[in-house]
Every structure is written in C-alpha cells, then in structure tokens.
Amino acid sequence: MADTLTEPPVFIPQTVIPPDKPLPMVRGLLQMIANPLYVWPKAMYENPYHGVRWIGRTFHYFRQPDHMKAVFLDHADIFEKSPFQRRLVRPAAGDGLLSAVGEHWKFQRRAASPAFRIDALRAMVPAFSTSAQETAERMKSAGADTPINVMGEMQHATLDVIVETILGGADPGFAYDAVAHSVTEYIETMGKPDMFDMFGAPNWIPRPWARRGRVAAAGLKKAAVDAIGRRRLSVSQKKDLLGLLLAARDPETGKGLSDIELRDNVVTFIGAGHETTALALTYSLYLIANTPEVQDRLLKEVRDVCGDRQIDADMVDAMPFHEQVIKESMRLYPPVAIIDRMANADIDLGPVKVKKGDLAFALIYIMHRHKLLWENPERFDPDRFSEERSEGRTRFQYMPFGAGPRICIGMKFAYMEAVAILATLVRALKFRPNPLHRVEPNIRITLRPEGGMPLYVEKR
Ligand code: HEM
C-alpha cells in the first residue's frame, strides 16, 4: 500500500532465478555444491516451512519470523552452533568468539564487548572515513571508461578499517594483500557445501579438496600471530580490541586468553569483520548504480549534512537514508544468507517437532524475499526501512546480523562503518551500471557475487 504513496524506484535487481520445481536428487546435490540458490524452488519463497528427512535426522528449513524467534531467542540453549558451521569456521578461526560455545564463549564475548560500546565506536568513525577517502582516491585514478571491480575495493577498504580499529592501527608488518587473498581463498574453498557433510560423515574424515583452504587458514593464523607478537613488543596501551583481549581476565579463574585463543580471535575479527561489511557495500553500490534517483538522494543527504567535511559520528547519525539503503541492500543480498544450528534436545515448535540431533537452517536470504512477509519483495525500495514503514514489523523478519545471544557483536560497528564509507564514496564518485555483467550471488560462507562486481565509476 505504502509503495504507491512514496513512489519508490522500480528497479528489480538481478539474482539467481529459483527453479520452478524441486530438482531431482543427484542434480540437487551437485547444484547444492555449485550454488544452493539454484536448488531452492520458487515454492520456498511462498510457503512458510518444510522439513526433509535425510540419513536418520530431519533438516528443518525455517524462513518465518516466529520460527527464527524460537530458534535464536526463546530456545537458544537448545539450538547450538552446528557441526557444519564449526567445520567451516574452525580451521581458520579455531574456538574464537564466532565458534566457541558455553562458558568459553561467554568469557570471550565479555572480554570483547567494551570495544563495541557506542562511545568506542563513535571514536572509530574518522578511521572509517579515512579508509573511504583513500578508496575514493584509488577509484578516481582508474578512469571512467573501464569498469572497476568494486568488490575488491570494498574488501580493501574494510580490511584497512579492521587493522586500524581492531588491531590498533597502521602496522607496517601487516601483509594486507596476502591476508585479503587468504580470506578469499578460504571462503572460495572451505565455504562450499561439502558432500561428506551432506552424507553425515564426521569432521575427522579428511577432505583432500580442502587443502587450499587449509593453506589459506595457515596464512591467516600466521598473520595474526605476527600482529600479536609485534603488539606485545610495542609500548602501546591502546584500548582497542586487541588491547582488551590481551588484558582480559576471567573473573572466576583470573586467567587471561591463551596465545591460541588470542590468535583465533584475531583471525575471527579479521574474517568476520571485513568480508561481510564489504559485501553489504558492494551490493549497495550495484543497487545505486542502477537507480540514479536513489544515488541523487544519497548525494543530497551527504552534501546537506556534511558539506565537504570529513564524516564524523554525529554526521553518520544524521544520515538515515544512507542506513536505509544499506538495510535494503542487506535484505536483498544478506551477506550471511543462511545460519545453521543443531538441536541438543527434543522440542516442539507448534506443529513442527524437532528431535535431538536435527538440523535447523535459518534461510535468511529466502525470508528476506518471502512473499508472505514483504510487498514486492524482488524490488529495490530503500523506503521500506523508513521509520514510518518499519512500524509494526517484527525484528525477526529481518535478520542480516542473526538474533538472540549470538547476534553479531559488530552490528553497530558495521552500520556506522558502512554509512561513513557509502557517504564518502557517493560524495566523491558517481556509480554507473555495467550492462555486460550479470549479478549472480553465490552462497559460500558469505553471499558473494560471482565474478566480483564490475561497475563504471566516474569522478564527480
Ligand atoms: C554487514 C556486516 C556484517 C554482517 C552481515 C554480519 C553478520 C553476522 C551474523 C549473521 C552473525 C551470527 C552468526 C550465527 O548466529 O551463527 C555474526 C556474528 C559475529 N560477527 Fe558479524 N556481521 C557483520 C559485521 C561484523 C563486524 C564489523 C564484526 C567485527 C568487527 C563482526 C564480528 C562478528 C563476531 C565476532 C561474531 C560472533 C559473535 C558471537 O557468537 O558472540 N561482524 N555476524
């Protein structure tokens, strides 16, 4: 109803077209490895739930807010991190904050939390803007006639931000390019659904095809150990995340984080903290390149609020339309498109009976495009996230950051960072579409566009 009142741009962003019917089993399994989005049929975007019995347990495919609330909040103690997720994450990030469970998780979450308090985040905004300005300069020099892979640029920008804000600042010993390359290698190899997992093989059975991923993981761990070593030798007493982790003590035992826990968390924050935000920005740039009217609104907002000044925290707060664009971009392309859990006990969710050992898949991508939940779900319409139109919408219908106790610790960080970077870029550059490139998101660990995101970029 509100769609016609606010006259949003009618742009239907590209994505994978789901099959009309479920695929036959063998084709389905092969496609699942190539890209799960090709396996999930149209009906999944129209009906609320289905479960599949497979090798002795049920796979529950959830895509409605009440199920999300049950899994992530009401029964978070029953739905634990699944062995799939741990297999994906642990080779690189060990038992850092993302994959740890129980008391070990609680201790690490407590230790890291002060670095994400609002005052700490507000102080980081100049670092976000500086990284964005450097990115804009790099992109300006590329020339307007050749498309630029903005995904690579966004990864560069957000990795700079993580090193600056989480590891305590420009570190000449940090091998940026090698780390960015290892993250990509890891995601592209380890991030694929694994045939052995689908057949219930335990994690200890070797997966020879994962060798490239293990090499990448070793590279990331080494970069983390070296960064910690350099920090220990320096006199810095910074209260950034690394400083906090080095100083953390368990209130009961008085013990600090071991060297391995420190390393695992540095890898966790490098990985979780830059890839996802880079994707949110990458898809935002694609969307605004195709909707000049949205791009103009962003430009007007940043000029009105910031003029030519470097963007600070107050300015970020005063640019709600930028946040709306980023939210809508993450609705259409949630960087974490699926979140999985395993039940450690039987539980009834209304008519859905979950048994101990069953797997729960929260299909965020499908929920964000579900016909029962969104009007014209396939349309890019940032005004859906205006205050007025968000009223009455449950927060479990929109979950790019997960929900409940394991909700992303970096959520506010990511919003502030993405707004500061988007505003800086829009003020300096004009983004134009690339008609020769088809956008095809693919679920790896994150939702990456196949072949990157080449767009035309012009200096303003
Ligand atoms: C747009 C950007 C981001 C998205 C979409 C995103 C998404 C997510 C999601 C969905 C989870 C929950 C996973 C689960 O429940 O299994 C998560 C957890 C996490 N994220 Fe983010 N994230 C983003 C940015 C960041 C940033 C900037 C940081 C750090 C600087 C970060 C660090 C983490 C960590 C450490 C966890 C694990 C938290 C815990 O289990 O206690 N993320 N993120």
Provide CB contacts within 8 A for 337, sequence distance 6+.
363, 364, 365, 441, 443, 446, 447
Positions of the chain with pLDDT lower than 50, given as ranges: 1-4
Q: Could you report the per-residue pLDDT of 175-222, keeping only the tens digit for each?
A: 777 888 888 888 887 766 666 666 666 666 667 667 888 888 998 999
Note the pLDDT of residue 2.
46
Tell me if 453 sits within 8 A of 149, measured CB to CB: yes
Ligand 1 binding pocket includes 98 (Cβ within 6 Å): yes
Structural domains in the chain (count): 1
Note the pLDDT of residue 397.
98
Ligand 1 binding pocket includes 243 (Cβ within 6 Å): no
Q: Give which of 65, 83, 85 is closest to 73, Cα–Cα.
A: 65
Which atom of ligand 1 is least distant from the CA of 109? 41
Asked whether residue 65 is domain-assigned, the answer is: no
Provide CB contacts within 8 A for 126, sequence distance 6+.
310, 312
Which atom of ligand 1 is least distant from the CA of 364? 10
Between the CA of 329 and the centroid of ligand 1 the distance, in Å, is 17
Which atom of ligand 1 is least distant from the CA of 274? 27
Q: Give which of 321, 341, 445, 330 is closest to 399, Cα–Cα.
A: 330
Q: Give which of 458, 412, 430 is closest to 146, Cα–Cα.
A: 458
Ligand 1 binding pocket includes 337 (Cβ within 6 Å): no
Asked whether residue 269 is domain-assigned, the answer is: yes
Ramachandran angles phi, psi of 101, nearest 5°: -130, 170
Which atom of ligand 1 is least distant from the CA of 418? 1
Asked whether residue 358 is domain-assigned, the answer is: no
Ligand 1 binding pocket includes 163 (Cβ within 6 Å): no
Note the pLDDT of residue 112.
87
Note the pLDDT of residue 1.
44
Strands 148-149, 338-343: pairing is unpaired
Which residue of 88, 257, 276, 412 sits with most ligand 1 atoms within 8 Å of its CB, as the best mutation to test the pocket?
276
Asked whether residue 74 is domain-assigned, the answer is: no
Asked whether residue 247 is domain-assigned, the answer is: yes
**pTM above threshold 0.85:** yes
Q: Which domain holds residue 271?
A: 2-51+83-333+405-459
Note the pLDDT of residue 267.
92
Note the pLDDT of residue 57.
93
Note the pLDDT of residue 229.
86
Asked whether residue 374 is domain-assigned, the answer is: no
Place of tokens 């994707």: 279
Note the pLDDT of residue 84.
80
Note the pLDDT of residue 247.
83
User: How crowded is residue 1: how many other Cβ atoms within 10 Å of its Cβ?
Assistant: 6
CATH number for 166: 1.10.630.10
Between the CA of 407 and the centroid of ligand 1 the distance, in Å, is 7
Note the pLDDT of residue 171.
64
DSSP at 206: -
Tell me if 83 sits within 8 A of 262, measured CB to CB: no
The Cα–Cα gap between 270 and 221 comes to 10
Ligand 1 binding pocket includes 96 (Cβ within 6 Å): no
Between the CA of 153 and the centroid of ligand 1 the distance, in Å, is 21
Provide CB contacts within 8 A for 358, sequence distance 6+.
57, 58, 59, 60, 342, 343
Asked whether residue 278 is domain-assigned, the answer is: yes
Asked whether residue 272 is domain-assigned, the answer is: yes
